[in-house]
Amino acid sequence: MPQNIPIVENILNANDRLAEENFTRIESAGVFSINLMASPGAGKTSLIEQTLPLLKDKLRVAVIDGDIATSIDADRAAKAGAQAAIQINTGGDCHLDAVMLRGALEKLEMDQFDLLIVENVGNLVCPASFKLGTHKSILIASVPEGDDKPYKYPGMYRGVDALVINKIDLLPYVPFRMDYFERGVQVLNPNVKTFPLSCRTGEGLDVWVEWLIQSVMRNP
Ligand code: MG
Ligand code: ZN
């Protein structure tokens, strides 16, 4: 068999192909999009809640929330000022996939927004394997989870474009060695952009928000 046949089509699985369609849809509306991933309790919804008021009057934001059963997170996003908040109930699935995101995108007038935030299901394993079609993948780690997470969940840390380290206000109280954590990240993802912050105290949020705004501005 010839070795040089085009194999790209074969490598892309069905999910990846749908993710590309999602990306085209988002991109052609001029929207910048992020996929927020984390373990349960790391602060995905809290980060959205703290971020939205800081984007008020600057960006029009849509939030899509993946959850196994409830609409609590979408309600919180709407309350925090999202112009639209859509819930995807995964019906027990522990991650979002491109089909689910497509269903949610169909409910949004995409050209009404500048930024789309997708909150994935809380899980540190499989969300990394299911592309959704967003511009950037972002992982939220949190201090109380421990400093060994990059070593235990390398797949998640390897693929992301940015890393938020939440709950830094707890650093004095828990045995979290930042240098050990960062060494683990460095090996897996040397160029990842890192945002240490605290959703509780607000420390570091300004840098994160500025990055979001700049990312939207750079997006044609
Ligand atoms: Mg949440
Ligand atoms: Zn899963």
Taking the domains of the chain in order of start, what are their residue ranges? Answer: 4-218
In this structure, which residues have their CB less than 5 angstroms from ion ligand 2?
94-95, 126
Q: How far is the CA of 211 from the centre of ligand 1 (A)?
A: 22
**What is the C-alpha separation between 73 and 86, in angstroms, rounded?**
9
CATH topology assigned to domain 4-218: Rossmann fold (3.40.50)
Q: How far is the CA of 36 from the centre of ligand 1 (A)?
A: 10
Q: How far is the CA of 99 from the centre of ligand 2 (A)?
A: 14
In this structure, which residues have their CB less than 5 angstroms from ion ligand 1?
44-45, 73
Q: How far is the CA of 56 from the centre of ligand 1 (A)?
A: 21
CB atoms within 10 A of CB 60: 16
**The pairing of beta strand 162-166 with beta strand 32-38:** unpaired
Give the closest ligand to the alpha carbon of residue 90.
2
**What is the C-alpha separation between 62 and 81, in angstroms, rounded?**
9
Q: What predicted TM-score, i.e. pTM, was given to this entire model?
A: 0.93
Q: What is the pLDDT along the chain (220 residues), one digit of tens a residue?
A: 455 555 444 445 889 999 999 999 999 999 999 999 999 999 999 999 999 999 999 999 999 999 888 888 999 999 999 999 999 999 888 999 999 999 999 999 999 999 999 999 999 998 988 999 999 999 999 999 999 999 999 999 999 999 999 999 999 999 999 999 999 999 999 999 999 999 999 999 999 999 999 999 998 7
